[in-house]
Structure 1
Amino acid sequence: MRDQHIPLFIPDIVSYDKLVPYLKQIDENRWYSNRGPLVCSFEKRMEEHFDYPQGGIATCASGTLGIISTLLALELPRGSKCVMPAWTFVGTMAAINAAGLEPVFADVNLASWALDINEVKKLVERDKKISAVIVVCPFGKMVDIASWEELANSYGISVIIDGAACFDSFKQTGKKTTLPFIISLHATKVFGIGEGGLVLSENTDFIDKVKKITNFGIDENRNVPVVGVNAKMSEYHAAVGHAMLDEWPQHRQCWKKLIKSYHSYLGSVSQFSDGYVTSNCILKLDEKTIKNIKQELQGAMECRNIWQLLDDKFENSFKFSQTVVSIPFYLGIDTLVVNKILGCFREDVRK
């Protein structure tokens, strides 16, 4: 088994035969981008899936471009500041920079792993150049949206929820919000279409603005009233989205079965939940155990941090950056192989 390297993740996207009917539609329509019929119908199906109002969801070419388009749609003062977690995926910071804002880091909460709202309040109260906050949901775990809605209203600043991995958890909570909520449809997510993203909000006027921004800011009269980017979803990615949505109930059951098998031997150190499915197997361990694991594995299986520490002066963020790791977890993985590899440090993991 030591000679067999197991990667962290292998995508499992819908098969070609399920795609064919939608690819044929593209050929018949001869419409490949610029909000074609498949993109528009995919948005409608997503509105039904999430029980959002008509016009409440915009598609985009990636989750990161969804954040950038949202920040541009908010028309924040250029050069103003945007608060974000000091421990997260670097794509959040990339989006802030691309939108012409200055990132400001804050610590995460020990219990939620997400941005600490009390730390954000302190920053906002003493720095009037802060115009926005991006709250990142950790590995698909939902944040307390109501608290962030209250903060946005109380302080008069914009709040965005980066729920990149929350395709299933957001659906399961059934929460509706006027705050922009961004979901990634990257190949590494439970609902992956290769590349893509969704921006959701009950504020349909705002979503309409986001749609314009993803198309260079061009409106229905071919005018350009706002600064935009090219962030449109293609018809091909929408085709994958349609086929994935057709298969989603069965696909979700496969994820649930895999989660159950992992949880049976990882126990409480894994961050799985009974309420939703996720494509990451995240372990919270001590530094000594992580070091022992990596020595035992000797390259047989990936075990690594998938989030970055963006500023090491924050205690909780630094702690998580040293003690949270991801291990191989994907549909079709040979769980017997994983069990044998994990068996060499089973006792360490269960401590």
Structure 2
Amino acid sequence: MTRKFDIEVMRPVLPDADALAPYLQQIDQTGWYANRGPLTKELEQRLADHFGVERHRLVTTSSCTSGLQMAYLTARRTGARYILTPSWTFAAAPLAAMAAGLTPYFLDVDPDSQQLTPEIAKTALRRLGADTVAAVSPVSPQGAPVDLDGWAAFQAETGCRVVHDAAAAFISVQASGIVSCVSLHATKLLPAGEGGFVLCPDIATREEIKVRSNFGFDDSRESQLVSANAKISEYHAAIGLAAMDQLPDRRGRLMQLARRMNEMVSALPGVSLPEGFGAPWCGTTAVIRFDAPVARDCAAHLAREGIETRFWWARGCHRQPAFDDCPRDDLAMTERLAESTLGLPFHAALSEADLGRIGGSLEGFLAARRRAA
């Protein structure tokens, strides 16, 4: 297949066959392929150890989206119809809310962090009425940390559940007083091909999400709760375990690349990366922000020079047809971000020469813009 771009925006890398072989052999030996087998339990234990929590506060799911859906189901209550979520996010969270029988209500984000904040959510709660809101779902943009303590305090003060969409935030997320859902998709730092896990504030929440992930079965063959089949398979757990073996090297390479990307971008006028990118956190994307709505012009310029880019969150969820009927606040900042942010190539296969080409192309675009001003 002919490559359209010289420098691709993303190149997922999963453990190879040799790294997988020992875990696949265990599946052959046990004959256990799904339904929370030994590899799934081992992956949960290793993830729990990584985050410094008991295994009974962490549960794997078939995807981060399904984890969000199960977490939203735990928050359902009579009369509460909304999930408060930023429009500035991937489609997974509002789709998960709809799958849980709830309605996404789109809120705008803070101009600096690009995040939904407890203050924004409180204002919406007062206007909508707390009884109408099942949960608030802040998002970690590009894997950035959120104010976990602030959100835990919000939950305690308002009584409104908080479900953190931490899909890309494997490095920055921590166990806390709220639910956090993390992705193990092939594009993420810890890839299982497909999968996810939920960090829970307590054992009871974890057990409910576990039951809801298995048809509502709780030590019986009778469905007790509104639920789904959201379990990870033993094969995906095998990939996740092999990826855990490689995690220190993978994380080190991406953090080094993030620091180099930050050095490159910081030398360019009118362009920035999110605060803390490369130190102390990174995700698996590098999304720059311009001081003007020129992202689409820049994307076209880089494409002409063989450099692929991507608008990871398009123009915001509120502009996508699936969400036409969803209520929303004024989304002026979301609209601005949609025109001023752009995902650059970011993956471990990038060379110094690639970074030089990306930086040079950005510099050329910015220089042409200054001349035209």
CA separation in 2, counterparts of 1:96 and 1:106? 14
Aligned position for 1:300: 306
1:327 equivalent to 2:347? Answer no
Which string of whole-angstrom CA distances, capped at 9 and with x for unpartnered residues, describes residues 248-307 of structure 1?
111211112222332231227123231123211110012236514523532612222101
CA separation in 2, counterparts of 1:344 and 1:306? 20
CA separation in 1, counterparts of 2:341 and 2:6? 21
Q: Which range moved further: 266-275 or 14-23?
A: 266-275
Distance change >3 Å, CA 117–CA 37, structure 1 → 2? same
CA separation in 2, counterparts of 1:78 and 1:29? 46
- Secondary structure of 1:168's partner? coil
Which string of whole-angstrom CA distances, capped at 9 and with x for unpartnered residues, describes residues 178-201 of structure 1?
311100111111111111101011
Which string of whole-angstrom CA distances, capped at 9 and with x for unpartnered residues, describes residues 4-39 of structure 1?
433221101112111100000000011100111100
Aligned position for 1:113: 114
Q: Percent identity?
A: 29
Aligned position for 1:310: 317
Distance change >3 Å, CA 291–CA 149, structure 1 → 2? same
- Secondary structure of 2:134's partner? strand
Structure 1, unaligned runs of 5 or more: none
Aligned position for 1:283: 288
User: What does residue range 70-219 of structure 1 map to in structure 2 within 5 Å?
Assistant: 70-77=71-78, 80-128=81-129, 129-170=132-173, 175-219=174-218
Distance change >3 Å, CA 3–CA 85, structure 1 → 2? closer
Q: Which range moved further: 90-99 or 114-123?
A: 114-123
TM-score with structure 1 setting the length = 0.92
Aligned residues: 346
CA separation in 2, counterparts of 1:288 and 1:233? 41
Q: Is the Cα–Cα contact under 8 Å of residues 138 and 165 in structure 2 kept in the other structure? A: yes
**Could you tell me how far 1:213 is from its partner in structure 2?**
0.9
Q: Is the Cα–Cα contact under 8 Å of residues 144 and 282 in structure 2 kept in the other structure? A: no
- Superposed CA RMSD: 2.1
CA separation in 2, counterparts of 1:3 and 1:47? 41
- Secondary structure of 1:88's partner? coil
Q: Which range moved further: 217-226 or 321-330?
A: 217-226
CA separation in 2, counterparts of 1:287 and 1:151? 33
Q: Is the Cα–Cα contact under 8 Å of residues 305 and 324 in structure 1 kept in the other structure? A: yes
Structure 2, unaligned runs of 5 or more: 320-329
Q: Is the Cα–Cα contact under 8 Å of residues 297 and 341 in structure 1 kept in the other structure? A: no
- Secondary structure of 2:104's partner? strand
User: What does residue range 204-283 of structure 1 map to in structure 2 within 5 Å?
Assistant: 204-267=203-266, 269-271=272-274, 272-283=277-288
